[in-house]
Structure 1
């Protein structure tokens, strides 16, 4: 029985955190052998390039109005996530997934209240009109591409979970932790915005898994990964979110708020839940189809590798501050360093051309087209800042119509 370390203040409980991570990795017997280095880099290049190209389309980045440097960082993060975890998928499916999850990252970072732009959501959906909300409009445009890689059951899971995610992000914008005594609220919100049904379905692409044949296994995967993925993320991201004002509606904080728990009790509850479901997954899938079990196992190992290597989670800061004690600390360092050896790949190996470079090239083309049209229509050249892409796009559309207006 592991001895729990008491958290006596609001200072970050590093010793307990290290202990909890080691217990999780011991439980799943973490060892990421999903790819060779060449295979991983090859998939990263393809996935990153397809995702960057998608978001460099003018109608996409202009509608999203998202900081381009943050989007570049987000595309890199998501490319790593998808390649690390969705090992059973083709490169084409990975690209569709990376575009999808980049959209979810953008929404998760949004602070705009969607109330007004969703007033006609159902009417527009029923009659096939484009959605007023730019994120919903672009996501719905992309979904057919993603869903083409899955059967009807998986597709329905993906669509439904996407709408749940949108609503979950809406709730989070209100910073509502739930009322004291409402102990079901934290898990309700976490399931809503956790995308567990998307993940549980998408690791079984139709090209490799007949969803009719594996219906029960896929359903069980959705059920199990919905919890495991969210809880593992919340446990490993506890350090990153500990003192971040934007992350104070985390699952642990919500546990404490509605249940009257101390921080230690909330953290212990999450650790216990994560270990319990990890053991359950191993037990349930031990005697199932080998291909299904491998898809689950590879996802779990890749998901842990991604968290340990992605600098957003700042696990490197914990690692740098540890001393070799021959016990739990040594084990943590070994797990971290092994993950870095397989997943800590220099972005320079797989990110050319970058999203920012594609945007710059696209805007250069827009300026060139505008100058040509101005010249063609005998209008004096204007000097425009490259950031005025919306104005440029409008002028392009107007000037393109001039010959037709004159003829009529």
Structure 2
């Protein structure tokens, strides 16, 4: 079934110089584009290129995708020269196929130029499409949740290795993802499942009587927000094929993870759940990969091998809004960095400036020290000091008893002398 491509009125392809990424979402019969992030100029270049550069554009897509919330994707590319459709179809096909390889959740990927022309690539076939601009801004529902991480996993590691690799940390991430996939999401204390839309579709020509009502606090023009709870089952969390082997290292993922997913009006509750879980997994994998990459050539964390646990602090997540939309984006800051450190990367990747006060930088917590304290140390008791204390008390009681006995004996002797 062919899908209608709708663009937010804030998108002006005529003002684009060079290439850019189209950010948006999918509904069953619609592809929604809400923002264009201009492709940055490579080092040494004077300005935007007049031709396609698939490797550079795909690298830009990779960076943008890492910062998007669940439910939002890089859905395609845009280019300022309409003639590119006639002279570079092979590059366009390569570009669209490369985008599908970056995001296995993406639907049909599109390539647009001014004058309502473009191409669309599904799983195999590429076809001509047209798009239209909506009269009103595309609305999104914000799904807000958080997870408390407490994921232990045992692995085999080199005897002298103190540096965590992504292949090692990924085992804990995979265990967490298996738990999430079997979990249940609650929105407004109701289970998120089925094809019922979270709210009526915005651009559906048919009137819908069903759909979840807006929040009581929602006003005209305000974004609809829901708090979501993720509940996991208390079942054995193992793969279907279990390998039994010797393990010498224990990894534990601990802390508080903040999640925000954005879905367009008309998204089914089942897809809302998918967007929430997608955001959690995308964020966790992204920051673990960033952290492990930063460890190359450095020590693996605080502490030394054999001297208690090594504590790793992956980047924390901060949020800001994508201008002109109801979509939030995120960046990741290493320990010691503040909100001002996200300004430059957001400017480079998305092409807009943001003020430090517009960045939410207080939504995540790292694990407390007691969470990573060795079991032996946590359960140990001060035996020597408490034992000495009991010995002193016992000696004191014994001395007091001996003294009382001596006084009693002396008193008895004096009484006997008096009688004689």
TM category (shorter chain) comes to: under 0.3
Higher-helix-fraction structure? 1
Which has the higher Rg, Structure 1 or Structure 2?
2
Larger RCO, structures 1/2 (Cα 8 Å, 6+ apart): 1
